[in-house]
Amino acid sequence: MSSKIEFIFEQVLKIKDMILIAVLLPWLSFFLRGKIFSGILCLILQCTLIGWLPAAIWAVASRVDGKNKSRFNEFKREHRF
């Protein structure tokens, strides 16, 4: 039971770390997930002070969307839709 709790705790920390990276360094968040073109575009956007906030929002939204897609695909595999 404790190993399952530890696993869940580690997963939560990973999610929080990625969201923190997405807010502070949005371009790095894209690079770490293998989205090089989006990372370059985000870096260009982040180079302006005004563009930093939209870049951070875009990175967090993209991270959350990617996580939701993987959960949905896992659910589909389990339930054979």
Q: At what angle do helices 2-24 and 49-79 cross, to 10 degrees?
A: 150
> Domain count of the chain?
1
Q: Is the pLDDT of residue 10 over 70?
A: no
Q: Is the pLDDT of residue 13 over 60?
A: no
Q: For residue range 22-66, list pLDDT tens digits in order.
A: 888 888 888 888 888 988 998 998 888 788 888 888 888 888 888
